[in-house]
Chain A
Amino acid sequence: DGGITQSPKYLFRKEGQNVTLSCEQNLNHDAMYWYRQDPGQGLRLIYYSQIVNDFQKGDIAEGYSVSREKKESFPLTVTSAQKNPTAFYLCASNNRGPGETQYFGPGTRLLVL
């Protein structure tokens, strides 16, 4: 059955370390997104991609990087430049076009040791 998978469910990062969060979808969606959720706050857009090999910065892209080499995959790297990486990270996807609902994966919680 179709859906969005994110792995791992929990991830620990040491100071100065880069970590990569995985997001895979088999919904044949063109567009994919990465959001960050902090306690008491809404979801904030980090990066999004509307087509393979193309992506745009969202509202809080500093300290993050992405790639979109395949339609079904949109990994997010949290670099050592991200000073406050502890958060719940959510990946979403949808088809391009007006009114297309975004569907979310189960999320990855990143903790700094």
Chain B
Amino acid sequence: DQQVKQNSPSLSVQEGRISILNCDYTNSMFDYFLWYKKYPAEGPTFLISISSIKDKNEDGRFTVFLNKSAKHLSLHIVPSQPGDSAVYFCAASIQGAQKLVFGQGTRLTINP
């Protein structure tokens, strides 16, 4: 069963606008969430994370929102830039368990 789901395989956004990537999870034991960015033929790079004791975490152009009651998190990128074009993975873990569970990824394309 897919415990972490990214239901949109792709998203296209105009440069300068807001990009919103969504992620849903089913396991209520997850208490730590991360977003990774991946370019083709490269390893993922860490973007931003959030603990379940928070509902928002911001780092520059990137903000992650967590809605525990809906088991939903989202990544907002404002403003979107061409270099943001990549595949974005959300991941979840139970702190102390070490293992990350990844979503399927969303391919973000920023159009000029």
Contacts and interface: CB of A to CB of B under 8 A. Distances in A.
Interaction A to B: yes
A104 B45 contact: yes
B79 interface: no
Interface in B20-71: 32, 34, 36, 41-46, 49, 51
A6 to B, nearest CB: 8
A96 B6 CA distance: 27
A103 B42 contact: no
Name which of A4, A40, A45, A99 has the most chain B CB atoms within 10 A of its CB: A99
Contact of A42 (B4, B32, B98): B4
A41 B6 CA distance: 10
A61 to B, nearest CB: 13
Contact of A40 (B9, B34, B42, B100): B9
A98 B52 CA distance: 12
B95 interface: yes
Interface residues of B, number: 25
Interface in A40-62: 40-45, 48, 50, 58
Given A40-B9, A42-B4, A42-B105, A50 B98 contact: yes
B112 interface: no
Q: How large is the interface on A (under 10, 10 to 19, 20 to 34, 35 or more residues)?
A: 20 to 34
B66 to A, nearest CB: 14
A50 B6 CA distance: 28
Contacts of A97: 96
Contacts of B89: 42-43
A10 B99 CA distance: 26
B98 A48 contact: yes
A96 B100 CA distance: 13
A109 interface: yes
Interface in A61-113: 88, 90, 92, 94, 96-99, 101-107, 109
5 contacts: A43-B44, A58-B99, A98-B32, A99-B32, A102-B100
A-B pairs, top 7 by smallest CB distance, nearest first, are: A104-B43, A98-B95, A42-B102, A43-B102, A42-B104, A104-B44, A106-B43
